[in-house]
Amino acid sequence: MHLWRLSLFLVLGLALGAACLAVNRDLTSSLEGRSAWKLLGCYIDNVSGRALPHGEAVPGGTNAMTNELCIETCLQAGFSIAGTEYAGECWCGNAVVDGGGLAPDGSVGCNMKCKGNHAETCGGPNRLDVYQLVSPTSPTPSQTITSSSTQPASTSSPVQPTASAGTGKRGLAYSTGNPEGDAIFANFFTSFKKITWAYDWGYPAHGLDPSFEFVPMLWGLPSGPDPSWTAAVQTPGTKYILGFNEPDLTYSGSSNIIPAKAAAGYQEYIEPFSGSAKVGMPNVLWNNVGSSSGGDYDTAVWTQYFVGNCTSCHFDFMGIHYYQDCDPADGQSGAAWFQGNVTNAYETYKLPVWITEFQCYGTDAQQVAFLQEVLPWLDSQSYVQRYAYFGAFPDFLMNANGTGLSEIGVAYATT
């Protein structure tokens, strides 16, 4: 199945009675949002000259290994880079050394399931899944943007940028999971005028081309007042602020906040800026059924509780996600399901709708056909304010090696 070759992605199945809603999530973005760790990719290791020199034991030992545990262990030990290898090894360092470059076969070599969580990969034989700490308060060299890294598209992408402007709705959800830790994946789309805005599940923009409007997001609840968040939302040109990322879900990559706490957090960290920017409700998986943070209820109910608790909150728009099959097996239309859910979200709150993540599960050709059907529809619905297909990083809108747009990326940029 298409999804399972994406070994760096978490796949979570939620049983829905007879049906099954498969929710795949980008581990990169979840780790980014929670603790500012970026997935750099699958790296070569070399037993005679380790790419990350410090082997560390994690609590619980080899059999407990997960990327999160290794990252936590490296952080505690004072390192800024963590890598998992051979399903159960954790390696730390402050730079990837000894020629341990990105694996030429992409993520193919990093295909061993973590001993402590079979839904994640922990490298492979002589291969490391490498994560880097990128703290907004202590910038790393990865945030230094070179001019060459911001003009990548023309040589590697055979696609001609389209001059025709779009509706101003189409955007990018981009990962900074590249060796520079910057917005290079989003910047590949700079000359495609139908794409006008971008977000990275957090802040700051990490070198996003200034032709895009950057939209900051508060991914989850901060541990306290955060000056870097205040600075991000007060950056001149900030017109919109995105609320929490999937607080309605409980899997390891969601922000998982019960409605009452999410409402209190919204009041404390987002509401104060509602005068200077348009503020959005949390970004929830609208088509999720039966399993939410705080209870066995649908996301629609989670949202109802959130709004019920957020009595003095101001909402300028709502944010939703949608993941489902492109061509459901029972002959129903994936595009119709998507459109039905977007319409239903609007009818529920009568607010402008931002679809900040959406993807249909299927082959490249099925996804292209889906986009060709739903993009004109999204552009013509007055209540759809913004949308972003998942996502600007390798194997999705980018090709597998991150050197140009994928077939899906081309369809998204030009349709």
Ligand X SMILES: *[C@@H]1O[C@H](CO)[C@@H](O)[C@H](O)[C@H]1NC(C)=O
Binders in 37-76 for ligand X, by CB under 6 A: 46, 48-49
CB of 258 to ligand X, least distance (A): 4
* Cα dihedral value 355, 356, 360, 365, nearest 10: 100
* Cα dihedral value 242, 6, 285, 217, nearest 10: -10
* 155 is an interface residue for ligand X by CB under 6 A: no
* 143 is an interface residue for ligand X by CB under 6 A: no
Q: What is the residue whose two structure tokens read 């968040």?
A: 229
CB of 168 to ligand X, least distance (A): 26
Q: How many residues bind ligand X (CB under 6 A)?
A: 23
Q: Which CB atom, from 21 or from 374, has the smaller least distance to ligand X?
A: 21
Q: What string marks each residue from 246 to 285 as x (binds ligand X by CB under 6 A) or -?
A: ------------xxx-------------------------
CB 392 within 8 A of CB 189: yes
SS3 281: strand
Alpha helices (runs of H) in 100-218, residue ranges in sequence order: 153-156, 184-187
Phi, psi of 297 (to 5 degrees): -125, 170
The Cα–Cα gap between 97 and 99 comes to 6
Dig out the tokens for 347 from the structure: 């009818």
CB of 4 to ligand X, least distance (A): 19
Site stretch for ligand X (CB under 6 A), options 3-11, 168-176, 223-231, 338-346: 338-346
Q: Which CB atom, from 21 or from 397, has the smaller least distance to ligand X?
A: 21
Q: Which CB atom, from 344 or from 415, has the smaller least distance to ligand X?
A: 344
Which positions ≥6 away from 385 have C-beta within 8 Å?
Answer: 169, 317, 352, 353, 354
Which positions ≥6 away from 401 have C-beta within 8 Å?
Answer: 106, 394
The Cα–Cα gap between 202 and 33 comes to 6
Q: Which CB atom, from 214 or from 305, has the smaller least distance to ligand X?
A: 305
Q: Which CB atom, from 86 or from 337, has the smaller least distance to ligand X?
A: 337
CB of 215 to ligand X, least distance (A): 25
State which of residues 94, 143, 344, 366 lies at the interface with ligand X (CB under 6 A): 344
CB 368 within 8 A of CB 335: no
* 399 is an interface residue for ligand X by CB under 6 A: yes
* Cα dihedral value 322, 5, 256, 318, nearest 10: -20
* 403 is an interface residue for ligand X by CB under 6 A: yes
Q: Which CB atom, from 99 or from 331, has the smaller least distance to ligand X?
A: 99
* 158 is an interface residue for ligand X by CB under 6 A: no
Q: Which CB atom, from 143 or from 401, has the smaller least distance to ligand X?
A: 401
CB 83 within 8 A of CB 129: yes
Binders in 285-314 for ligand X, by CB under 6 A: 287, 294, 305, 308-309
* 340 is an interface residue for ligand X by CB under 6 A: yes
* 324 is an interface residue for ligand X by CB under 6 A: yes
CB of 256 to ligand X, least distance (A): 12
Q: What string marks each residue from 80 to 109 as x (binds ligand X by CB under 6 A) or -?
A: ------------------xx----------
Q: How far apart are the first and last CA of the chain?
A: 26
CB of 330 to ligand X, least distance (A): 10
Looking at the DSSP assignment, which residues form a beta bridge with residue 85?
89, 128
CB of 137 to ligand X, least distance (A): 31
Q: Which CB atom, from 106 or from 171, has the smaller least distance to ligand X?
A: 106
Q: Which CB atom, from 83 or from 216, has the smaller least distance to ligand X?
A: 83
* 124 is an interface residue for ligand X by CB under 6 A: no
Candidates 214, 205, 201, 199; CA nearest to 182 is 205
Sign of CA dihedral 178, 181, 185, 187: negative
Q: Which CB atom, from 209 or from 395, has the smaller least distance to ligand X?
A: 395
Candidates 78, 81, 80, 70; CA nearest to 120 is 70
Contact residues for ligand X, defined by CB under 6 A: 21, 46, 48-49, 98-99, 258-260, 287, 294, 305, 308-309, 324, 337, 340-341, 344, 399-401, 403
